Structure 1
Amino acid sequence: MKQIHAVAFDIDGTLYPNRRMYLASLGFALGHFRLLNAFRKVRKELRDTRPVEDFYELQARLFGRRIGVDTDEAREIINRTFYTRWESVLRKVNLYPGVLDLIRLLKEKNIPLAVMSDFPVVTKMKILNIENYFDVEMSSEEVGYLKPNPEPFLEMARQLNVKPENLLYVGNSFHYDVLGAHSLGMMTAHISSRKPEKSPADFTFKRYSSLRDWILPRLD
């Protein structure tokens, strides 16, 4: 049985239900449909772009091209609309039952913990009131590549000072989280109502109490 030396979590859809976020952000989405659609396409393009020298510059340039503004204005729109207003919607959502209990238990056992998102994390952690539990809080943007690219996963393991094979990554996205982490030899736990066919995830779960019971025998 492989031993878990550290545990890392995705945030959106993993620490709290995506459906709650969708309902809470419905008004926001309707009011910013054009921008959201353009930004979604840009992020998809960025996931497939290599190499990336300056992530934020490239993101702003691609976004500006899609909505017809210059790079500086596009950067301001991204910061204001997607990094500030969007985060505020989190005040209307709650963590999954059992999330905080598991995080506290792992802390008591001195297991290094991390969170990683494709978006900025600091404000999110404060809004969710869990900012004091994690040893590493990082956004994949900071290393210049979005999930499922290997760079953010490897940087997370480096900051946690653990080998990838001893790191458990918990996420809700089969493609970005499970496949991205698994490709580097990390253990993966997939929160999902059903297990995808031929999933390489080490564990698929619906409730955090089940994940806790699966993790405990695998700790040092």
Structure 2
Amino acid sequence: MNNVDLTQIKAVAFDIDGTLYRAWRFNLRIAPYFLFHSFFFLKYGLVRNIMHRTAATSEFTKIQAAHMAKKLNCSPEEAEERLEKIIYKGLEKYFVNIKPCDGALDFIHKLKDKGYKLGLLSDFPPEQKGEIWGVRELCDVVLGSEEAGALKPDPTPFRKLAEEFNLPPEQILYVGNNHKYDIQGAHNAGMKTAWLILPHSGWIGKKSKIADFTFWHYNQLSNWFFNDQTNKSD
């Protein structure tokens, strides 16, 4: 844990997938769907790895489709249609009624009650997840990194998030579960960061060298965030 003055934080933003809900819950749900479309998902994974390394561009959708077309040996138009059908629309139903992380909603509502700005920044379109347990309507900013033109850890979506908040990056805390994409990306953009890990990793003392806080239950994050400020204001 780094020494950080949380009294300077004016906004808290969250990744969605694997951060507001545990990824293993979702993976269990989609297992049959994944197996049915396994070839497509494997190729899609390769393409997303490429897109994570691709510089920001207003042609994100077309470039992603072009890469998929090469992997699938089809036209870019067909690849784009299959991406929409299998990934963007096809996965929507699996988010319905998925359970959020324990304590996540309580923490978010407490932030809202205390007057903090709230945001969501995901590598996948946030609208794919519906209302996200009512969190969406509480947010001041809801952003998909694809619409910003680049996937995390590129600084572009994080800078866009700060711009939408109308705040400097150092006044934003970003909460995520993927160290390479969420934590490294937000840190490099100048934001404070909180890294959500799996409980068993926390029990053996796993921590990040760059995240300002490492946690495995949202009650820990809430206690750190609010108690630390109370102590510094005394």
Distance in 1 separating the partners of 2:31 and 2:196 = 23
Counterpart Cα distance in 2 of 1:218 and 1:70: 55
1:25 match: secondary structure: helix
Match of 1:52 among 42, 46, 57: 57
> What is the correspondence of 1:15-94 to structure 2 with a 5 Å cutoff?
15-50=20-55, 52-94=57-99
How does the TM-score come out when normalised to structure 2?
Answer: 0.89
- 1:128 is displaced (CA, Å) by 3.8
User: Does structure 1 residue 168 correspond to structure 2 residue 178?
Assistant: no
Q: Cα offset for 1:214?
A: 1.1
Q: Counterpart in 2 of 1:214? A: 224
1:138 maps to 2:148: no
| Residue deviations 1:55-99 (CA, integer Å, cap 9, x gap) | 001111110111011111111111111001112111252101111
**1:123 is the counterpart of 2:158:** no
Cα distance change, pair 198–191 in 1 and its aligned pair in 2 (3 A): closer
2:106 — aligned with what? 101
Determine which of 190, 198, 205 is the counterpart of 2:195.
Answer: 190
- Aligned residue pairs total 220
Q: Distance in 2 between matches of 1:49 and 1:24?
A: 30
Return closer, same or farther for 1:211/1:141 CA change in 2, 3 Å cut-off. same
Q: Label 1:104 to 1:60 Cα distance change in 2 as closer, same or farther (>3 A).
A: same
The Cα shift of 1:40 comes to 0.8
Instruction: Report the AA paired with residue 169 of structure 1.
Output: Y
CA 1:51 to 1:15, structure 2 compared with 1: closer, same or farther past 3 Å? closer
Separation of aligned partners in 2, 1:10 and 1:125 = 15
Alignment of structure 1 residues 5-24 onto 2, 5 Å: 5-24=10-29
Residues of 2 paired with 1:149 and 1:92: CA distance? 31
Q: Would you say the 8 A contact 1:91–1:128 is kept in 2?
A: no
- The Cα of 1:187 is off from its aligned counterpart by 0.6
Which shows bigger deviation, 123-132 or 163-172? 123-132
- State the secondary structure of the residue aligned to 1:114: strand
Q: RMSD value over aligned CA atoms?
A: 1.7
- The structure-2 alpha-carbon separation of the partners of 1:198 and 1:124, relative to structure 1 and needing over 3 Å to count, comes to closer
Q: Is this contact kept in 2: 1:181–1:187, CA < 8 A? A: yes
Unaligned runs of 5+ in 2: none
AA of the residue aligned to 1:29:
F
More off after superposition, 27-36 vs 89-98: 89-98
Secondary structure of residue in 2 paired with 1:20:
helix
Amino acid at match of 1:209: N
d(CA) in 2 for partners of 1:77, 1:89: 18
Residue of structure 2 in register with 1:201 after alignment = 211
Residue identity (%): 36
The answer as to whether partners of 1:122 and 1:137 remain within 8 angstroms in 2 is no
What's the CA shift string for 1:154-185, capped at 9, x where partnerless? 00011011111111000000100111111122
